[in-house]
Chain A
Amino acid sequence: SQQGEEDPQALSIQEGENATMNCSYKTSINNLQWYRQNSGRGLVHLILIRSNEREKHSGRLRVTLDTSKKSSSLLITASRAADTASYFCATDSSGGGADGLTFGKGTHLIIQP
Chain B
Amino acid sequence: KAGVTQTPRYLIKTRGQQVTLSCSPISGHRSVSWYQQTPGQGLQFLFEYFSETQRNKGNFPGRFSGRQFSNSRSEMNVSTLELGDSALYLCASSRGRPASYGYTFGSGTRLTVV
Name the segment of B11-19, B67-75, B76-84, B93-101 touching the other chain: B93-101
Residue of B nearest to A93 (CB): B98
Which residues of B from 45 to 86 have beta carbons under 8 Å from A? 45-48, 56, 58-59
Q: Which residues of A contact B58 (CB under 8 A)?
A: 99-100
A13 to B114: give the CA distance in the assembly, Å. 38
A45 in contact with B103 given A40-B88, A101-B45 (CB within 8 Å)? yes
A20 to B61, CA, bound (A): 37
| Interface residue A96 (Cβ < 8 Å from any Cβ of B) | yes
Q: Scan residues 9-55 of chain A and give those whose CB is less than 8 A from a CB of chain B.
A: 30-31, 33, 35, 40-45, 47-48
Q: What's the nearest-Cβ distance from chain B to residue A63, in Å?
A: 12
A96 near B102 with CB under 8 A, answer no
Given contacts A40-B88, A41-B107, A106-B42, contact A48 B101 (CB under 8 A): yes
Which residues of chain B are near A104, meaning CB under 8 Å? 42
The reply to whether B105 and A43 contact each other, CB–CB distance below 8 Å, is yes
Task: Check B59 against A1 for contact (C-beta < 8 Å).
Answer: yes
Q: How far in angstroms is the closest Cβ of chain B from A98?
A: 6
Q: Are A42 and B106 in contact (CB under 8 A)?
A: yes
Interface centre among A33, A42, A44, A103 (most CB of B within 10 A): A42
Q: Min CB distance, A92 to chain B, in Å?
A: 6
A2 to B107, CA, bound (A): 22
Given the complex of chains A and B, what is the CA–CA distance between A67 and B69 in angstroms? 38
- Bound Cα distance A11, B67 (Å): 39
Mask for A83-113, Cβ within 8 A of B = 1, else 0? 0000010101000111111111110000000
Residues of B within 8 A of A (CB): 4, 33, 35, 37, 42-48, 56, 58-59, 88, 90, 92, 97-108, 110
The 8 A-B pairs with the shortest beta carbon distances in the complex, nearest first, are: A100-B45, A103-B43, A45-B102, A97-B98, A43-B105, A42-B107, A42-B105, A96-B98
Q: Which A positions have Cβ atoms within 8 angstroms of B?
A: 1-2, 30-31, 33, 35, 40-45, 47-48, 88, 90, 92, 96-106
